[in-house]
Amino acid sequence: MSQRVPTVRDVAARAGVSVGTVSKALNNRGQLREETRARVVAAARELGFRPNSLAQGLQSGRTYTVAVITTDRFGRFGNPLMLGVEDALGADRVSVFLCDTRDDPIREHHHAETLDERRVDGIIVAGRRKQTRAPLAVASGVPVVYVIAQSSDPSDFCVTTDDVGGGVLAARHLLASGRTRIGHITGPERFADPRERAAGLSSVLDSAGLDLAGGQVFYGEWSEDWGRRAAEMLLHAAPDTDAIFCGSDQIARGVVETLRDRRLRVPGDIAVVGFDNWEPMAAGCRPPLTTVDPNLREVGRVAATRLLDMIAGRPVEGGVETVPAWLMLRESTGVREAGA
């Protein structure tokens, strides 16, 4: 025979208080003496009592659930983002629904309707790249925070990465390493992310009185193949290049392959910096890549924290909050990881 599940009445009897006092103590509400609150918590722990989340939701008008709608089917950006979201929501014992739209507006609309029916407390909408999108079609009153992709409604709130700052970090690190002939190979020019990374790099080079090696930004695709081909183009245009900043770790892997084929040493002859700090790519490269980390975990944590503020009724002004990037130093710029 299984043991009977303890109830709130059992806790009240053990602590010598009313059922209402137990509710106040366990939900941290009302005016109670600290001694009484501690006695109730101790009784609940001794009995192994766990509050009924459904009952709590009915009482508070909340479901203690939040949804994350993402377009990242591969998890490259979504995984660190989710870690940050859970960092913030875990303390509030909030559960998370993860919905993948696969870049399909119809699928997104279906998810939005389903989440409305489930009465989630709030929604985080995460995009892979910086672009303006239509606001999510959800019932009025449901708080929504946007990540990376910004809503066209200026009253909506968005958390995003600092791509300009990431380019600045890469440039300053290369200059501090004694490099002065720095080339840049990156992704499609039609996207804001690569343009902003290039702008950050160029601003530092301009301040130092330096030009881009090769005389231009080499825009292309987010692939190793483009990294290989673009490296050949850059070295043909500027054989004296001594550093290459790449707009992604995938591109950087391709660049390193071309340099190796040309018997150029990394970092001895040419230093290489990537972008994303995508662990399988960056740490698996030979040599391991120094790379800009866009701090997606912190982006997720900030987004979830602001969403909790909205759910609690605390004011959150519309606009964009930018989370600073940071630089992960590895051997491709001559810096060994700690313990290496």
List of residues 6+ apart from 162 with CB closer than 8 A: 294, 295, 322, 323, 324, 325
Average pLDDT over residues 122-148: 89
pLDDT at residue 151 in the model:
93
Domains of the chain: 8-51 (1.10.260.40), 63-162+296-324 (3.40.50.2300), 163-293 (3.40.50.2300)
Tell me how far apart the terminal alpha carbons of the chain are, to the nearest angstrom. Answer: 57
Longest dimension (CA), the chain: 84
Q: What would the DSSP string read from start to end of 101-118?
A: -TT-HHHHHHHHHHHHHT
Q: What are 155-185's pLDDT values in tens digits?
A: 999 999 999 999 999 999 999 999 999 999 9
- The yes-or-no verdict on residue 239 having pLDDT over 80 is yes
Q: Name the residue type at position 88.
A: A
Of 312 and 293, more confident: 293
- The yes-or-no verdict on residue 117 having pLDDT over 90 is no
- The yes-or-no verdict on residue 58 having pLDDT over 50 is no
Average pLDDT over residues 253-281: 95
**Chain CA centroid to CA 244, Å:** 25
Exposed, middle or buried, 263 (CB in 10 Å: 0-12/13-18/19+)? exposed
What is the DSSP pairing of strand 132-133 with strand 150-151? parallel
Average pLDDT over residues 25-40: 80
Lowest-confidence pick of 43-52, 193-202, 237-246: 43-52
Give the mean pLDDT of the chain. 89
- The yes-or-no verdict on residue 339 having pLDDT over 50 is no
- The yes-or-no verdict on residue 30 having pLDDT over 80 is no
- Rounded to an integer, what distance in angstroms lies between the CA atom of residue 118 and that of residue 130? 29
Residue 338: pLDDT band (50, 70, 90) is very low
Q: For residue 63, give the nearest of 32, 96, 33 by alpha carbon.
A: 96
